[in-house]
Amino acid sequence: MHKRPDNVICFRCDAGSDIGYGHLIRCLSLANSTRPKQMCIFAMASSSEGARTMVKAAGHRLIELPADGHFDTDILLSKLGAPPDVFVLDISYDVHEENRRALKQYVGRLSEGRGLTVLIDGLNSHALVNGPGWDVDILVAPYIGAPKTLPVPHLLSGAQFVIFDDSYTASERVCFSDGPAKKVLVTFGGADTKELTLQALKALAQLEGNGFDIHVIIGPSFSLELREKIDSFVDGLKCVTLLYAPDTLADQMMWADIAVSATGLTKYELALTGTPAVLISIDETHANAHRPFEEENTALHLGVSDKVTVEAIATSVNRLSVDVELRKELFANGTRLVDSQGRTRIMDYIMRMLDD
């Protein structure tokens, strides 16, 4: 019987961005898998109201860090009190060379305590660890196309370590409609700073004759301006339902025949649930990180948002909606690519190391 960690800190340096929400959700998933009702600690700088609500609703403690001191170990350690058994650091979503050295020193300082240090890294230009000297016990690279060798003691790399929350463990699409797709899910992260939700809605409006039933996810950090634009655009449209910051997208993905989404961590959830999708990258970095995933042919990728037109979105959605065989192909490729056991594999590995 494995012992459970007495305490885990899941550190987010900023959960107010589009990227940060996906990372926060996977940290919450790991924290919630430690022990029933166990309180873990989350440390975040510049955290949004939505992020604070998510952490506290899950029964965990939140440490608020000043925006200009989110990599100051003295501030964090003073607020922690006793060091935890496990540090889970998810801080690699916005990496620049000028702060890589500071981050390396920061991780090294935290690793001086008695517990394990686990770093969930990014992919390609979002990766922190690109050479030796990182003081981490376990490096997790939960992505398609992640490196198989890195200079760390323990590396957990690849699709088998993709992290999902409990709502996805029972997700299984049992059948497809033989006719045209009718149910469309639109989801573009927690903030959607590129206003891609509105672009997708404009594209779907061009396909009004398809008879779509459209569900639109409004993220917890959507700006008031974007929400007003969306409200104005869908006013009077009976085919559009706006869903405000649901706890999980699992049910919505299982409901949908197709989805229109960004290429962040959500693409793994779409693959797991077998939801055929049209994907758009928010920038060139995300497009580059998406290429290994794109090769698996689980969705239609339109490229970087600045170069994607409303017409291109409409054309791709229409193609998916009428081509049943294509949707079945994307479904099969996605469900073969990932399963829902990634966080269990990671936590089992952590607990085995604690037992040693």
Q: Are residues 71 and 207 in the same domain?
A: no
Cα distances from 7 to residues 3, 40, 139, 154, 354, in angstroms, run 12, 6, 19, 21, 12
What pLDDT is attached to residue 49? 79
Answering whether pTM is above 0.85, one says yes
What pLDDT is attached to residue 18? 47
Comparing 12 with 263, which gets the higher pLDDT? 263
Q: Are residues 110 and 195 in the same domain?
A: no
- The boundaries of the domain holding residue 305 are 168-337
Selection from 191, 248, 249, 262 nearest residue 46 by Cα: 191
Query: Is 302 part of any domain?
Result: yes
* Number of domains forming the structure of the chain: 2
What pLDDT is attached to residue 1? 41
Strand-pairing partners, residue 186, are 216, 260
User: Domain with 127 in it: what CATH number?
Assistant: 3.40.50
Query: Is 100 part of any domain?
Result: yes
Is the predicted pLDDT of residue 204 greater than 90, yes or no? Answer: yes
Identity of the amino acid at 348 = D
pLDDT tens digits for 261-313?
999 889 999 999 999 999 999 999 889 889 889 999 999 999 999 999 999 99
Q: Are residues 226 and 349 in the same domain?
A: no
Cα distances from 18 to residues 25, 50, 88, 191, in angstroms, run 12, 12, 20, 5
Q: Are residues 173 and 322 in the same domain?
A: yes
